[in-house]
Amino acid sequence: MTDPFKTICEMSLWKSDIDIRPVAGGITNQNFVVIDQNEKYFVRLGNDIPEHGIMRFNELAASKAAHQAEISPAVIHAEPGIMVLQYIDGVALTAEDVRKPELLAEIISLMKHCHYEVPKFLHGPCLVFWVFQVLRDYSNTLQKTSNQYRNSLSDLLKIAEQLEEDVGEIQLSFAHNDLLAANFIHDGNRLWLIDWEYAGFNSPLFDLAGLASNSNFSAEQEMSLLNSYFGHTPEQNIMKKYSAMKAASLLRETLWSMVSETHSKIDFDYRKYSQENLEKFNSSWDLHQTQWR
């Protein structure tokens, strides 16, 4: 395995001897803070991960467009497997932070900017992130390897088909598709949205559902989120689509983790994460059936 410190040190970007500090938490890449002549940079190391649909050309294009839309840090330098970003001196949000009304208002504004302003700055080809195709692809990947989940995949895909039918026609926009609390950074003055690995054209409902499920919103908080995003109480057909998309987003997170158990070399307890998300998915699916089927 290539030494990441050696890889970073050998880059021609630096003006002097550099100080490299690992950043914990990356589960699809390796992250570092680099100090060069008192200037800080954020460095991401990671190649394509086809089993997760991560293509670095797409991440780079989305990152650049998001910066031009003024919601993400600037890309300072990029080469195969490496991206150097403007360092944001701030704090990553927690799920508890996301649920605070004053921060949620900022988050919703950032989401809308992502959905409708970022595409204006995109250059070149860009991926589509359709969660139901992602689920089918994850199932195919899991079928090819020896794992404990293979016997349950058929039933999960049948549920996914029902959810896709319930989502039906969508409004297409540009989505982040990975709205974990930690992907929001507050610098004391404003919020930034980072980590565009899964970015692509999708329904805004996926981002809304992912935000709510990742940060453990109550039913009341979900309604407040939707009312604020749409500017009014959503119609019943939108609520049904949202409910289906929320269950699908949790199933995607579950299968993402199941695939990672057998493919990722990063030190992370994927098995525990798989079980946690499977439980959340089952609860969401049960609620969806009760309300809408």
CB 194 within 8 A of CB 202: no
**233 and 147 part of one domain:** yes
Which pLDDT does position 248 carry in this prediction? Answer: 98
| CA terminus-to-terminus distance, the chain | 50
**147 and 278 part of one domain:** yes
20: three-class secondary structure by DSSP: strand
**214 and 285 part of one domain:** yes
**77 and 201 part of one domain:** no
pLDDT at 212 over 80: yes
Predicted confidence (pLDDT) per residue in 3-56, tens digit: 999 999 999 999 999 999 999 877 788 999 999 999 999 999 999 999 999 999
In angstroms, rounded to a whole number, what is the distance separating the alpha carbons of residues 186 and 104? 12
Single out the residue in 52, 86, 120 at which a domain terminates.
86
User: Mean pLDDT, to the nearest integer, of 240-256?
Assistant: 97
Q: If we measure between CA atoms, which residue out of 153, 135, 151 comes closest to residue 206?
A: 135
Share of the chain above pLDDT 70, in %: 100
pLDDT at 246 over 60: yes
The single-letter code of the amino acid at 120 is K
**42 and 107 part of one domain:** no
In angstroms, rounded to a whole number, what is the distance separating the alpha carbons of residues 35 and 286? 50
Range of the domain at 251: 91-292
In angstroms, rounded to a whole number, what is the distance separating the alpha carbons of residues 179 and 36? 31
In angstroms, rounded to a whole number, what is the distance separating the alpha carbons of residues 130 and 60? 20
Which pLDDT does position 263 carry in this prediction? Answer: 84
In angstroms, rounded to a whole number, what is the distance separating the alpha carbons of residues 46 and 55? 10
**134 and 79 part of one domain:** no
In angstroms, rounded to a whole number, what is the distance separating the alpha carbons of residues 243 and 239? 6
CATH of the domain at 9: 3.30.200.20
Q: Domain count for the chain, please give it.
A: 2
User: Mean pLDDT, to the nearest integer, of 276-285?
Assistant: 96
**38 and 97 part of one domain:** no
